[in-house]
Amino acid sequence: MVALLAACTGDGAGGPAAEPDPIAKVSFEPGDGADDVNPAAPVAVSVADGIITQVALSNADGKQVKGELSQDRHSFRATEPLGYDATYTWSGTAVGTDQKPVPIEGKLSTLAPDKTVPATLNIGDGQEVGIAAPIILQFTAPVQNKEAVEKALTVTTEPNTEGAWAWFPDDNGGSRLHWRPKDYWVPGTAVHLSAKLYGVDLGGGNYGDSDLTTDFRIGRSQIVRADAPSHRMQVVRDGQDVFDFGVSYGEGNEPRNVTRSGVHVVTEKYEDFMMSNPPFYENVRERWAVRISNNGEFIHANPESLSAQGSSNVTNGCINLSPGDAQQFFPTALYGDPVEVTGTSIALSAADGDLYDWTIDWDTWKSMSALQGEPSPVVTATPVPPKPAGG
């Protein structure tokens, strides 16, 4: 009798069984090896059929990017923006449902802008401003991609306030953008501006330098009503007349001596100010000076025109008060207060400086937005250096 012995076989080819591939699959956003990545874009790693046990995203110096691991440990995302023109490396380990480790390995590089462009805001955190104050965003270089900038901006107000952005002619070496409400602010309104400008493509190889935010509040309502033919100036606070001063306005014998009609805005004030209006006078010391436009118009004390105050207009365009009246008015003036001048032969305009916002009708203002026809990102902002003063 012949005994038959059973033999064990492998894979049919005489070798041992193949080890199955690990189950866990690692994927990156953006993909491994990506370059020209926007540093503000989402950056993440995720694992299918497994969990992350260790992970880091590091720059060339080994500094780790701050991030957040999901509660189920399936993904990790960066929680801070990356730097421009930099390379980052993923490292770490994932473990699949088969308990086998899988390395987390990858790289990405961010874009290199020709230039990063800073911007500044005219209203700081915690500041209280008047009811005519616009929010002004001033860039240090021209902006070509205005639509992208507006989409990165959000104004939040309490109570709800209708308003819009408008692009003004470039000034101080760069583009500038103003936001104002349709009508004067409601007193007490709380305002938050979020400007997510970092990583925004401004055009021409330029990108936003950094994000900006500000939280400020609208103060009491104070309106200066300045009627040139009457030679008087009223100050109306919360609907009540608090001052009625005899004053003198621009003589009006030539254009440079005409106080401009229209809604001016208080931008700054000085207890002492050296005024110049060449070639007529230079470095004349004036007291209690409140600037109302960048063409040199102030409300200020002037003892030299005292005899004309309340009876005739003799100034070079400023609104002159007696020293005592000017001293009373001075502490009440707030950045953003409206000064409504009426009854003169020349209207306030772009030729008179940066804050002629309220001379622009609402339909025209909205047409100055780069997002015409699109909803504004509104949920319901260092004054521009002044030009020489004239008195």
The Cα–Cα gap between 103 and 80 comes to 24
* Distance (Å) of CA 90 to CA 29, 45, 364: 11, 9, 51
Contact between 117 and 207 under an 8 Å Cβ cutoff? The reply is yes
> Tokens for 185?
């602010």
Contact between 87 and 59 under an 8 Å Cβ cutoff? The reply is yes
Which helix or strand (DSSP H or E) is residue 329 part of?
helix 323-329
- Of the candidates 196, 371, 178, 390, which has an alpha carbon nearest to the alpha carbon of residue 276? 390
Catalytic member of 192, 231, 264, 318: 318
CA dihedral 296, 176, 198, 133 (to 10 degrees): 60
* Active-site annotation holds for 8: no
The Cα–Cα gap between 282 and 243 comes to 31
Contact between 319 and 258 under an 8 Å Cβ cutoff? The reply is no
Contact between 233 and 223 under an 8 Å Cβ cutoff? The reply is no
Q: Tokens 């007490």 appear where?
A: 188
Q: What angle do CA 113, 197, 151 make, to 5 degrees?
A: 115
| Sequence-ordered list of residues with C-beta below 8 angstroms from that of 367, at least 6 positions apart, any chain | none
Contact between 130 and 334 under an 8 Å Cβ cutoff? The reply is yes
CA dihedral 127, 133, 137, 138 (to 10 degrees): -100
* Active-site annotation holds for 300: yes
DSSP one-letter code for 145: -
> Which amino acid, one-letter code, is at 98?
D
Catalytic member of 8, 192, 231, 300: 300
Active site residues: 300, 318
